[in-house]
Amino acid sequence: MLVGLLDAWATQRKTARVLIVLDVSGSMGEPADPADHDAGTKLDLAVRAVQDGLAKFKAEDLVGLRIFTTGLGSNGGEEVTYKDLSPIEPIGDNRERLRNEVASLTPLNGTPLYEVVGASHAQMVAEYDPALINAVVFLSDGVNDDGNPDDDESQFDSLIAEITRTSNGENAKPVRIFTIAYGADADVGALEKISEASNATAYTASDATTIGEVFTAVVSNF
């Protein structure tokens, strides 16, 4: 009976519009399980979790995939901190291509967490569709590290204020941000506050080897 109810929910729920944002900073190259190097790196396990999670979406759900780290290049003199592997489009048209794209990822540099949460949220608000479930799934294994620690506090406060402003009130455009604090060094507190400001749930995979089940739990929101 429960399976039937879940199947009915998946059929009847609103279509989702989701941007998956994946940390590819250098620390993602660390072993997922320090006691078992055969388990692969944190990025290896995160990639598998995303690949498996893509299968959970309905064909008509709109899903995009973004990676982030520092040092991705420059654009008009400004440092590029994120790259879209796929725009937000029907997952039924690009599910397999996305699986292949994410498989080739490698760990790179720093973790511009606040900047990329802000940019991803702002894009989803600008493109908000009231007929859909609008959400960001944000996975990170570290703390904000954009090369300038002096403005971290003000940057975070501004981010929370903006998310709160757009999530509440008569003219709200609620974009829920489901965060995943991945591994033992993730900034659980900051990620929880980001999710809370957007009226979403924060998830924790402090044991990196549990990321598969955690990511599945996140995707079950859609």
Instruction: Give the Å distances, CA to CA, from 10 to 13, 65, 75.
Output: 6, 22, 41
pTM reported for the whole predicted model: 0.92
What's the rounded Cα separation, in Å, for the pair 177 and 197? 9
Two tokens at 45? 């396990």
Give residue 5's pLDDT: 41
Answer yes or no: are the C-beta atoms of 58 and 10 closer than 8 Å. yes
Radius of gyration of the chain (CA): 17
At residue 6, the pLDDT reads 44
Task: Measure the CA angle with vertex 112, ends 100 and 28; round to 5°.
Answer: 45
Boundaries of every domain in the chain: 14-134+142-219
- Tens digits of pLDDT across the chain (222 residues): 444 444 444 556 789 999 999 999 999 999 999 888 788 999 999 999 999 999 999 999 999 999 999 988 877 667 889 999 999 999 998 899 999 999 999 999 999 999 999 999 999 999 999 999 999 999 999 999 988 888 999 999 999 999 999 999 888 999 999 999 999 999 999 999 999 999 999 999 999 999 999 999 999 998
14-134+142-219 folds as Rossmann fold (3.40.50)
pLDDT of residue 164: 97
